[in-house]
Amino acid sequence: MKKAKIFILEDDINLNETIAEFLEEEGYDTTSAFDGDEAEDLMYENSYDLYLLDVNVPGTNGFELLKKARENSDKVPAIFITSLNSMDDLEIGYKSGCDDYIRKPFELKELLFRVQTLLKREFLHVNDEKIKISKGIEYDMLTNELTVSGKTVRIQNKEALLLKLFIQKRGEIISHGVIYDTLWSYDEVSSDLALRTYVKNLRKILGKEKIVSIKKLGYKFTTE
């Protein structure tokens, strides 16, 4: 599988290198910048799957950098890394378009959990916005909107995560372990009963033949 590409903006050289080395050991590709102006150029010229952005850096600060990116329709998920801790700073961060926030000092393992959660939530490496599942049924990967015969059908959050995973790996056998890791974050307890319920609900909407149970292995999903 293609490695997720993570962009790191952090002006503390030692911390930047520590984060990059840790994430690369966990199987990610990383690119680093040490000031906001350099970061802005790299983010404009390249594509990434996740941004890790320090706030107080030389040049354009992290808040302004992400705000500019969002104004240019950049939807890459972003985590702010900062020592700022006031509610005002937190509000500014979320208003500028971040998806998560981690305060210094932090454990690298906690950062990893947050990275994994955002990456599995978004699946932004799937280029198609609207996926045709079958005649009259489409799923919009950006808005999480499932439409059947032109009408929007509401599905639960974890059902949406499962459907995104199915679409991402359509035609492949997806193991139960991969599904559990995708649907449940590190602080949640996975449930085989819940998974069967989500599959059953999606089958009712999409058609039973679209989601095939592979005994003792997992599931396989097909689209047109």
Tell me which of 141 and 119 has the higher pLDDT. Answer: 119
Round to whole Å and give the CA distance between 52 and 58. 16
Round to whole Å and give the CA distance between 9 and 198. 38
Q: Which long-range contacts (CB under 8 A, 24 or more apart) does 92-98 make?
A: 92/63, 93/55, 93/63, 96/63, 96/64, 96/66, 96/67, 96/70, 97/66, 97/67, 97/69, 97/70, 98/53, 98/66
Q: For residue range 167-189, what is the model confidence (pLDDT) as tens digits?
A: 878 888 888 888 888 888 766 78
In this prediction, residue 91 carries a pLDDT of: 77
Q: Pick the range with the lowest mean pLDDT from 3-12, 72-81, 199-208.
A: 72-81
How many percent of the chain have pLDDT more than 90?
A: 43
Which secondary structure element, helix H or strand E, spans residue 103, and what is its range? Answer: strand 100-103
Q: For residue range 42-88, what is the model confidence (pLDDT) as tens digits?
A: 998 888 889 999 999 999 999 999 999 988 878 788 999 988 765 66
Round to whole Å and give the CA distance between 154 and 161. 13
Could you say which DSSP state residue 107 is in?
-
In this prediction, residue 10 carries a pLDDT of: 96
